[in-house]
Chains A and B, each alone.
Chain A
């Protein structure tokens, strides 16, 4: 395995610094929210982690399609890397949201469309890893994994719509709220902290993504060597 390229080394430092900066902006720079109080500061990290979580799932389905089209195992490595990071970030987003919801909604969990969809998405990708674990042939594992990410990617938006047949109380961050929902009102300072968190988590995502792809490549090499020594 080649040593870390310079760009990746710089990215590592940048990722660490951006996390520090985002923490500063969320905890100190942003004003305290009038109604919810200090707990609202979780919001910046909550949206940041949820955003990269979703990004990773879209990448996974996208690279799954690329894999099926090209049959080159390097795209499978990229697709798995995206899923694995996303599962982690999505879990963080759910956990942070839960901590926020306890004082604000007075409950850890509610079967709201966004929460439920997030939980189901998480379950789909846990199932994805169970599927992969049950297949030894790397080529078949890649094919089945790609097919499942595509099915998951198609069913998640429909799941969201299906659950919305029931009602929602989740605040609307993007777009306008319909009747019965609250609109997230942000002051300019909050908006700055929000954008900083989004950028910071995007950088962290790219950094981790790159590292995870390198690990995946190493893993594939180990598998190849194992096959070679056994035969």
Chain B
């Protein structure tokens, strides 16, 4: 396996091992997501007819909020324990560090989503196990995590830290959320692929453009 991939997976493995031992990030994200859904339940009065329209919106805002929580925590841990400096000292491509962090952040988001989907399905008696929806969730989370990792790396180095991350991330991540909500609603309401394609297309375009841009500028963000 080339060095780049080995370094990337080493970082993913490190994050997953640390998380598996402490479980602090995942449990915080999951409990927070459940609380958000409970609040939506009362705030939006989720009756069956309303549910059909807003399910994907509720899901995506929940994922976005939980994602922010995970992103800022995962970078703050690196910064506070000084392990970010250790990673930067390692003789590997900095891009490998970026991709490693993106992948572990993505895995955390997907794990939370894997738990939230069946719980939401059970709570509201709605079938969310549509292959198309799962694809949208994968693509949306990927875009969100790749931009979020870059911005979290920036925000932990500022004075305001965690407070700043959502402010930086949300306006830039709006296209992912919009396209993902649109595509998810399409899949859930049984729209044809031709109707869903534009939003899916946009989601893929965002993922490719923004993650390659983030990949190119990551060096600038960790440079001392």
What is A's interface to B at a CB cutoff of 8 Å?
68, 120, 123-124, 127, 130-131, 133-136, 140, 143-144, 146-148, 150-152, 154-155, 158-159, 161-163, 165
Contacts and interface: CB of A to CB of B under 8 A. Distances in A.
Contacts of A136: 159
Interface stretch (B17-25, B54-62, B121-129, B216-224): B216-224
B164 A134 contact: yes
Contact of B171 (A120, A133, A144, A162): A120
Interface residues of B, number: 34
A154 B160 contact: no
A120 B174 CA distance: 8
B175 A165 contact: no
A129 to B, nearest CB: 10
Contacts of A155: 147, 171-175, 206, 210
**Leading 4 A-B pairs by shortest Cβ distance:** A134-B158, A162-B178, A158-B175, A162-B175
Contact of A135 (B158, B171, B202): B158
Interface of B: 147, 150-151, 154-155, 157-161, 164, 167-168, 171-175, 178-179, 182, 198-199, 202, 205-206, 209-210, 213-214, 217, 220-221, 223
The secondary-structure label for the interface of chain B is helix
B54 to A, nearest CB: 15
Contacts of B223: 143
Given A123-B171, A135-B158, A143-B221, A165 B202 contact: yes
